[in-house]
Amino acid sequence: MRAIFLLCLLQAVFGQSQNRFGWNGPAVTQPAADPNLNKICSNDQAACGCCLMQKQMARMEQFFNMTTTEMSQQLMNSKMTLNNIKNNRSAFSVALNNEKTLTCFGPVADDRRVTYKHVFLNLGDSYNAQTGIFTAPSSGVYSLAATVYSLSPVDLPQATCAQLQVNGVAVATLVEKNGLDSEDSSTVVIARHLKAGDQVSVILLKGCNICDDATHYNTFTGFLLYAAETA
């Protein structure tokens, strides 16, 4: 009787474990029925209870082994996802300069790329301070922003105008030429799908100028929103 009681208790615990863990996996294969089991049970109930208990323990062992394997696979997938995110991180933010006194670039006789020298952030090392070019390290949707500002004496031509370009093609223009004061500024923010290797830069247009100091009026910023092969 004691063996039968333990068997019933074990079955109850096993059943609760299945409900608690919400296991809906494939059914566990049952051992082949022993044709002599009924005879053994009729002659020796203790032996019968032990046999049934061993079967239940085998089922529990298989269940927990499957659970452990599944959890290990999920952990591996999570690590791969995190590593992929880490490897694809990309963000930069730069300013024209960091001078104590206001320093201007331009007016220029022809269109010229702006080289931002002061680097706030260059995560992924994709911005080149020597050329002023950001090269997308991976395909995806990026946020791109630029602000231009100039301050000139009233006796000099005053115009702030630039282009945000991708692979040498203008995607947005920044212009202020009102001529009503000595200060001009303009800002643009866009979301753009870039392919790995695409180059982004800011071009100062002919006849325009920008000025900056440690206040950082002129900035160029971009970062990866999410990886994507196509837009």
Q: Return the number of other C-beta atoms located less than 10 Å from residue 151's C-beta.
A: 19
* Domain boundaries defined on the chain: 2-86, 89-227
d(CA 231, CA 141): 7
- Burial (CB < 10 A; 0-12, 13-18, 19+), residue 208, is buried
- Burial (CB < 10 A; 0-12, 13-18, 19+), residue 98, is middle
How confident is the model at residue 29, as a pLDDT? 46
How confident is the model at residue 113, as a pLDDT? 97
- Burial (CB < 10 A; 0-12, 13-18, 19+), residue 112, is middle
How confident is the model at residue 20, as a pLDDT? 42
How confident is the model at residue 120, as a pLDDT? 97
How confident is the model at residue 144, as a pLDDT? 98
How confident is the model at residue 56, as a pLDDT? 80
Fold of the CATH domain 89-227 = Jelly Rolls (2.60.120)
Closest CA to 168 of 131, 139, 137, 141: 131
**Per-residue pLDDT for the chain (231 aa), expressed as one digit of tens each?**
454 445 444 544 444 444 444 444 444 444 455 555 455 555 555 566 677 777 788 888 888 888 888 888 888 888 876 776 666 789 999 999 999 999 989 888 999 999 999 999 999 999 999 999 999 999 999 999 999 998 866 556 668 899 999 999 999 999 887 666 678 889 999 999 999 999 999 999 998 989 999 999 999 999 999 888 876
How far apart, in Å, do the first and last CA atoms of the chain sit?
Answer: 70
My answer on whether omega of the bond before 26 falls inside 30° of 0, hence cis, is: no
Closest CA to 218 of 82, 96, 75, 52: 96
